[in-house]
Amino acid sequence: MSVWQQFLNITTELDELVHSQTMKRSAILEQVDPLLEKRQELIVQLDQPAEGERALLDEVKKRDLKINQKLEFLFHDLKQDMRQSKKQTASKKQYTNPYQSVSTSDGMYLDYKK
């Protein structure tokens, strides 16, 4: 099996994994990392594609574009969830201690006259 064929197989597997509707996001992200590492190792071994491998290259390019778009979407979703969680934590803290942000010198009167 040529290196380009192996690269296409891993790319196809990655594409199917990323576009899976049944798996949770955390499970997808756990399985994506090893596949990306395998692809990285194969990228080093890739040579210029021969005439017969041009079709493989085109297929890899199409799938890679779809993979990148989906990973960007997942990353954006993850960042949004993290912001929401941070906002929720701040809201809970404000609810449990509503006077934390009030300064202690509020309403104090100092008479400087002698």
pLDDT digits (tens, 9 = 90+) for 35-92: 999 999 988 888 888 888 888 889 989 999 999 999 999 899 999 999 999 999 888 8
Q: What pLDDT is stored for residue 105 in this prediction?
A: 59
What's the rounded Cα separation, in Å, for the pair 46 and 42?
6
Query: Taking the mean position of all CA atoms in its chain, how far away is CA 96?
Result: 32
For the entire predicted model, the pTM comes to: 0.71
Count of positions (residues) in the chain: 114
Residue ranges of domains in the chain? 3-83
